[in-house]
Every structure is written in structure tokens, then in C-alpha cells.
Structure 1
């Protein structure tokens, strides 16, 4: 049997996804990666789940890859860890994730931890977090999306400054360059990330997913392709039950309770 290196918990419409290998600073071995992908598959498939919140048990978010375990598994086609029910959390292969993900980080956040932030939508960091995209110091390159997304997220020079040197940087620098959206006192990162996730989950889920999909299409296919989708998406959403609920809430000045239809 495999051990539970990923722990999931449902909190209303939010799926908590916790890295649970604290004795190894949550370094990712094959079991952790496959369980992580399965948790993303659960988030994607279940219509009652609207947002994912990724966090970590222990003092550290992740020390990166467990190369002792994963190195021998890198074959001629690279590294495969997504099973038939899984979704790639780093979104470099397979089907796209259609639901937003919030990330809470603390302690050490290396390599695939940064790439997970880049593949997600909102990140909150504890003040003492240390970041590093250190693959070049290990003789490999980032293969979880940093070369694709880091320059777009923080600018070419800021990204290359850390991808090409492997230097560590702190939470304030991560905030300055735009890698994370909030820095909070140590120990407060999970609660703050959960508050953001719950705020997103309280919105109309079809509208959230449509907005997220359009923004991702603009990145992937260009502004013209995303612009062409806007009016059809608006027409589709305008006919939804959630649009009716939202309008009634606006007119009556009450809080909308969306149903995802």
C-alpha cells in the first residue's frame, strides 16, 4: 500500500490539498506526485468543488524533487506520474484544469514549489519563506513550467535572475516581482489563503471558470482568440440559473447563493 503523502479535505466548496511528507521537507517522490495528480483529478471532476487550496504540513512547503527516488524513473520520454484519473498540477501536459487554485507556502519553497505557484492563480506566502529555482545547480533544467511561465509572471530579467543563477530569494522579493500576491506573518498563510479560496468559491462557479478559461486562452492562444470567445461566453452565462440568482441578489441587495447551473 502507498502511504498518504497527499491529504485532502473538503471545506464547503473548497478542496484542501495538503502535501504530507514533512520528514523530507515535503520533497516530491513518485508516490507524492501521483497522489497529488489524483487530488487534482478529484477537484476537476466533482461539480460540488469550486476551488482548490494547496498547502503543506510541517515547517516547509517543499524542498523540490526527491531526485534519489525520481532520478531512476526519468526515461527516454521524461518523467510520467499522472494516472488515468489524475490531472497534472503543473499543467504542462494532459487536460487543462478548469477550476482556480490558491496556494499557501511557508519555510522552504524550491523548484516545483515555485512552478506550482506559477501554474496556480493566487499565492500567499509566510514572511520567512525562502524561494529558489535551483535546477541549474543540480545539472538539470526546470521542467514543471518555470521556463514558460516565470518570465510572463515576473518579467524576463527577474525570471532569468533566479532561473539561471539558482540563487535563493525571500518572500518580500517574491512579492516585489509578483510571484506571490500577499505576504503574511508566519503561521497565518493557510488562514489567509483559505479566506481567498472561500471568497472565490462564493462567486458564481460557471462565471469564475469562464473568466479563468478566457484569461488562460489569452496566454495560450493570444488576445484575439480570447476576445473572440467573450461574447459567446457572455451569452451562455446570461442564460444560466446563476445569472438569474445574481440579478435577483443585486435587485434585492441580498447575498447570492449560487448553484453552479
Structure 2
């Protein structure tokens, strides 16, 4: 996917509606999509749009150019880091989904397509999403220790949760570079495809999710996250109440009708 106009020097985040999908593009290819304050702000705005617009059901995060992102543009980001300042707009949906005070957590699914260099923030953004499709040319590195800082965008949490503590520390403490096959082995990505097919596959998955009942998709995602973050007992405790709520919806009635009539369901999110 190419842009007609080149992005500004500080980069930008593109958005494109495609049916029920919102395609969110990282766009600073001349600098390997290194993130600037403007890009942080616009990314949060795009995630907030996805959550607030009822016509949108699934997001797809991707990058323009040869690489997903080399991570932070440290010269522009360092002043905020030193002050402990957040770069997301207050009250917006936080793309790293950390539940930080004053920020919202995403409720709708996000599928990510990554390619080429996917360093530091790139890994944290994909781990904060729900499903990741990687090109077979991906180069991953969580290299903060090489810069004298710590990964604070979720890598220390999610890498250990996905891959086990030893595997996580192997890459967190060495800052080494690894490829798509290793990322797949560690459950950091869910699919590896030949370079050039990653966005198409991510869109295909997102469209399949968008075809399902929106309320059921949101509830299912939330329950799975609750099981990971708070434990299975808390997740199980809400089964009956959530299922009762969903079973009374128009979409549940449509699900039954479509089953009886042997046709694809037409869900409205009500």
C-alpha cells in the first residue's frame, strides 16, 4: 500500500477505512519508521477512532515502506522520557494497552502485519495487539539494554507471558537480533508468510473477525485477556452474566436464524 504524497519529515500515521476495518499505517519510511512525538499522538488518535466509531469492527496496523519500525527516534523522544511524560493524548486509547492511569484500553481487535526491521517499540506494539502476521524477512530485536534503558512498553511482561521467562530474558538481556522463525517459536507472531503477503493476510484475518458478531467478539477478547492478566478464576466468574447479556442480543437471535436457515449471519452489533 503506497501513499500518493510523501510523509512530513517527522512522519505521520495514515488511516483508511475498508468496510468494517480501519487500516492504520506507520508512515516514515525514510527513517525506517522511527517514531516521533507526532507519530505517537496520531497512533493513539487512530486507535481511539477505531474504538469510538460503531461502523468499525477491527483494526489492522501495518507500516509503509520496507520496515515496520526501527523503534523510537531517540533524539526527539528522549526529553519526554527523562521527564517521565506520556506521548499519548490524555484520555485516548493507549496503543500499548498497559492500562496506564488517564488512558483507555482498546476494546476492539487489532491485527498487525510486520516486515523487515521490527525493533523495540515495534515488538511492543505487536505484542499489545491480538494477532500478528510476520513477513519471512523480519528482523526482531528488543535492544533497549544496548542503549542504557529498559523496555517499558510491555515487552518485559508480554515476552515472558508468551515465551516463558528464560526465553524472554535471552532476548531482553542480550538485545540480540532474531528472525521470523524464532518469533513464531516463541509465540510472538501467529503466522509467517513470504515477504509482500503479510498485509494481505492480516486483512484477510481481520475481515474474517469482522464477519462475526461484534459484541461476542469484544466479550470473547476481554475474557481471554482477563484470564491472562487476572487469572482463570476471575475470567470464569463472569461467564454466566456475559453469556446472559449476549444471549439476549439481536445478534444472538440472528445467529440462531442463520443456523436454521443455513445461511451466513448478518450481524449488526446490537
Alignment TM class, shorter chain as reference? over 0.9
Per the TM alignment, residue 85 of structure 1 is displaced from its structure 2 partner at its CA by 5.6
Equivalent position to 2:85, from 79, 88, 94: 79
Q: Which residue of 2 aligns with 1:162?
A: 171
Deviation at 1:156?
1.2
Do the aligned partners of 1:242 and 1:258 also contact (CA within 8 Å) in 2?
Answer: yes
**Contiguous gaps of at least 5 residues in structure 1:** none
1:44 matched to 2:51? The reply is: yes
Q: Give the distance between the partners of 2:162 and 2:193, measured in 1 at CA.
A: 21
Q: What does residue 33 of structure 1 align with?
A: 40
In structure 1, distance between residues paired with 2:90 and 2:233: 34
Q: How does 1:120-199 map to 2 (within 5 A)?
A: 120-199=129-208
Structure 1: how far apart are the matches of 2:194 and 2:231?
Answer: 38
Q: Is the 8 A contact 1:41 1:85 kept in 2?
A: no
Distance in 2 (CA, whole Å) between partners of 1:121 and 1:154 is 15
Relative to the length of structure 2, the TM-score reads: 0.93
Show the counterpart of 2:3: none
Aligned length: 259
Secondary structure at 1:90's aligned position in 2?
A: coil
Aligned-residue Cα RMSD (Å) equals 1.2
TM-score normalised by the chain length of structure 1? 0.97
**Aligned to 2:44, what secondary structure does the other structure show?**
helix
**Residue 19 (structure 2) pairs with residue 12 (structure 1):** yes
Preserved CA contact (<8 Å) 1:118 1:153: no
Preserved CA contact (<8 Å) 1:7 1:19:
yes
Q: Which residue in the other structure is 1:205 paired with?
A: 214
Maintained 8 Å contact 1:34/1:81? yes
- Give, in whole Å, the separation in 1 of the partners of 2:225 and 2:138: 28
Residues 201-259 of structure 1 show CA distances to partners (whole Å, capped at 9, x for unaligned) of 10000000000111111122221111111110000000000001111111111011100
Q: Using the TM superposition, give the Cα deviation of residue 79 of structure 1 relative to its aligned residue in structure 2, in angstroms.
A: 3.1
Give the secondary structure class of the aligned counterpart of 1:55.
strand
How much does 1:51 deviate?
A: 0.6
Equivalent positions of 1:97-112 (< 5 A) are: 97-112=106-121
